[in-house]
């Protein structure tokens, strides 16, 4: 009898382990909402992401928790509003600073999946602090290859500022860049998938492209394909996006050819909306249509992003229209891994799978919040169809996103009761937040570029 019990226990354990999917998180950088074919563009062919979208749940009300790079990433890496731990600015490139980065007391998705028995890897843009204590290998990732700062020159040997010309990093050691950076990151990610394909333990891979973030640089063969686009910046941006799409296709093809497609949960987002750099003389080369605003703003164009969830074994392709947020990545992955969420701190994401399968009715989130520039800065709240916006100490604005996705008709004067309700929601939410603990790079002295 004891032998039968032990055999049954072992079989149950093996089956449970086999059901745990790999987790692949793919993040684009500064991608316009309308700059993928499945999102509506006719100008930038993205066949590989279109293929992924056709096989995925496409979340049409998908958000990130911040309107620019590092705080957004800090949010989905921890499953918490980054305002809870003061990570509300981009950290300057300060290798000597033990403050400017993702606080070391924050637990990451890599920490939790590693504890649950996963192999954990990251390829690409980190941007969560330059001091060695913030390095990905010390934040739960077994393997790392990429750029530690907020961006990088795309071609080997190009000149630029210090942060954008540092060597690539492989597990803490400087590594020479050998090819166009987007291609190199795709190669590394595909190699990671292949390397761990035959292992019994599942894996996590966080693939964070810096494309199509500036500087606008693309290989000549891609630029030639977009020669019909007259605006130079738009042409280069389109080429960069297409090159990223090809690299994503390479990774997804490796997942499929290695027999891991059904057992891999894949998320795809942009870290924020596309930027408008008209004020810097570069124009608005991204397309956030039909959304208002751009990167850095709490209007939809800064925070609503393309958002895909793919798991062929469990999720049927389709459209999910209720609001979700990238904070949900961590709780979803940990639940499927059989891991445990931290019990000593509030978690803001939820496990999306029961909602996407229809097992759970209702909404994953009753209310979503955004804040930038600290307690005196800009706010937004989404509750159902209602979107509240307040810029600095200005007058509150109110929009019905179901009928007005472009936030063009302010209904605050007509619906004061809803304005008051959402103002009160902000006040309550802010009790669990703190002011930023480090300044952004604009407040830091600039380092000289290499000659």
Is residue 83 among the annotated active site residues?
Answer: no
Selection from 299, 301, 323 nearest residue 398 by Cα: 299
Catalogue all structural domains in the chain, each as residue range(s) with its CATH number.
21-357 (3.40.720.10), 376-432 (3.30.1120.10)
Strand residue runs (E) in 301-448? 307-310, 318-320, 324-325, 367-372, 378-383, 386-390, 397-400
The per-residue pLDDT of the chain, averaged, comes to 94
Taking only the tens place, the pLDDT of each residue in 210-219 is 999 999 999 9
Chain-centre distance for alpha carbon 394: 29
Query: What was the pLDDT predicted at 393?
Result: 83
Catalytic residue among 48, 59, 66, 69: 69
Tokens at 403, concatenated: 């009928």
The CA distance from 307 to 273, in Å, is 12
- Average pLDDT (7-25) is 60
The model carries a pTM of: 0.94
CA distance 91 to 99: 9
Helices (H), 79-156: 109-115
Q: How far is CA 316 from CA 22, 110, 323, 336, in A?
A: 18, 27, 18, 17
DSSP annotation of 332: H
Sheet holding 143-147, edge to edge: 173-175, 168-170, 143-147, 119-125, 203-208, 22-28, 264-270, 307-310, 57-59, 318-320
What average pLDDT does the segment 117-134 reach? 98
Calculate the alpha carbon distances from 94 to 83, 98, 127, 136, 147 in Å.
21, 9, 11, 16, 14
CB 371 within 8 A of CB 379: yes
Average pLDDT of span 190-195: 98
Eight-class DSSP state of 445: P
For the chain, the 3-state helix, strand and coil shares in percent, each to the nearest 5, are 35, 15, 50
For 302-311, write each residue's pLDDT tens digit. Answer: 999 999 999 9
pLDDT in tens, 223-270: 999 999 999 999 999 999 999 999 999 999 999 999 999 999 999 999
> Is a pLDDT exceeding 60 seen at residue 449?
no
**pLDDT (0 to 100) of residue 12:** 35
Tell me: the pLDDT tens digits for 44-73? 999 999 999 999 999 999 999 999 999 999
pLDDT tens-place string over residues 78-118: 999 999 999 999 999 999 999 999 999 999 999 999 999 99
Q: What Cα–Cα distance (Å) separates residue 240 from each residue in 43, 127, 277, 406?
A: 13, 20, 17, 27
Is-contact 447 161, C-beta < 8 A? yes
| Buried b / exposed e along 381-416 (16+ C-beta atoms within 10 A) | bbbeebbbbbbeeeebbbbbbeeebbbeeebbeeee
Average pLDDT over residues 362-374: 97
| Cβ atoms of residues 312 and 262 within 8 Å | yes
For residue 6, is pLDDT > 80? no
pLDDT of residue 269: 98
Name the residue with tokens 């994401």.
Answer: 349
- The answer for residues whose C-beta is within 8 angstroms of residue 257's C-beta and 6 or more apart is none
Collapse the DSSP code of 369 into the 3-class scheme (helix H, G, I; strand E, B; otherwise coil) and give the result: strand
Phi, psi of 132 (to 5 degrees): -55, -30
Catalytic residue from among 127, 135, 196, 213? 127
Task: Give me the pLDDT at residue 10, please.
Answer: 38
* Count of alpha carbons within 13 angstroms of residue 151, beta-carbon side: 17
CB-based contact 93:99 (threshold 8 Å): no
Q: Please say whether the beta carbons of 330 and 120 come within 8 A.
A: no
* Residue whose entry in the numeric block shows the structure tokens 């304005």: 419
What average pLDDT does range 276-280 have in this prediction? 95
* 59 catalytic residue (yes or no): no
Q: Residue 8's pLDDT is what? A: 39
Give pLDDT tens digits for 131-173. 999 999 999 999 999 999 999 999 999 999 999 999 999 999 9
pLDDT tens column, 89-99: 999 999 999 99
Q: What is the pLDDT of residue 19?
A: 81
User: What is the reported pLDDT for 443?
Assistant: 52
Whole-number pLDDT of residue 356: 98
What tokens does 393 get?
Answer: 């100490």
Pick the residue with more confidence: 191 or 3?
191
């Amino acid at each position: 009898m004891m032998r039968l019990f032990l055999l049954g226990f072992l079989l149950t354990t093996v089956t449970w382990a086999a059901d745990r999917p790999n987790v692949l998180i793919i993040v684009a950088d500064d991608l316009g909402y309308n700059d993928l074919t499945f999102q509506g563009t006719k100008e930038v062919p993205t066949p590989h992401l279109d293929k992924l979208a056709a096989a995925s749940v496409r979340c049409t009300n998908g958000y990130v928790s911040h309107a620019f790079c590092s705080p957004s990433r800090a949010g989905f890496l921890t499953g918490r509003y980054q305002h809870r731990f003061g990570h509300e600015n981009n950290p300057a490139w300060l290798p000597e600073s033990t403050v400017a980065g993702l606080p070391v007391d924050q637990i990451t998705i890599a920490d939790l999946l590693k504890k649950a028995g996963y192999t954990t890897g990251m390829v690409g843009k980190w941007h969560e602090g330059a001091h060695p204590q913030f390095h990905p290998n010390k934040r739960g990732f077994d393997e790392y290859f990429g750029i530690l700062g907020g961006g990088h020159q795309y071609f080997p040997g190009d000149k630029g500022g210090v942060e954008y010309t540092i060597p690539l990093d492989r597990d803490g050691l400087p590594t020479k860049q050998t090819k166009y950076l987007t291609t190199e990151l795709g190669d590394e990610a595909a190699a990671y998938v292949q390397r761990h394909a035959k292992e019994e333990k599942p894996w996590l891979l966080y693939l964070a492209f810096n494309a199509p973030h500036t500087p606008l640089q693309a290989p000549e063969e891609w630029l030639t394909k977009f020669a019909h686009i007259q605006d130079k910046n738009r042409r280069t941006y389109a080429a960069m996006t297409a090159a990223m799409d090809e690299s994503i296709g390479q990774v997804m093809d490796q997942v499929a050819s290695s027999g891991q497609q059904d057992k891999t949960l894949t998320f795809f987002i942009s870290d924020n909306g596309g930027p408008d750099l008209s004020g810097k003389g570069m124009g608005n080369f991204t397309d956030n249509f039909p959304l208002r605003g751009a990167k850095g703003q709490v209007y939809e164009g800064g925070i609503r992003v393309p958002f895909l969830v793919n798991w062929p074994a469990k999720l049927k392709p389709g459209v999910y229209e209720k609001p979700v947020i990238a904070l949900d990545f961590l709780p979803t992955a940990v639940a499927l891994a059989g891991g445990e969420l931290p019990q000593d701190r509030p978690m803001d994401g939820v496990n999306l799978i029961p909602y996407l399968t229809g097992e759970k009715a209702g909404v994953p989130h009753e209310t979503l919040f955004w804040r930038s520039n600290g307690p005196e800065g800009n706010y937004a709240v989404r509750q159902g169809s209602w979107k509240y916006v307040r810029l600095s100490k200005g007058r509150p604005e109110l929009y019905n996103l179901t009928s007005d996705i472009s936030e063009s008709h302010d209904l605050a004067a007509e619906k004061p009761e809803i304005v008051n309700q959402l103002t009160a929601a902000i006040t309550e939410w802010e009790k669990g937040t703190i002011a930023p603990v480090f300044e952004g790079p604009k407040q830091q002295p600039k380092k000289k570029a290499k000659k």
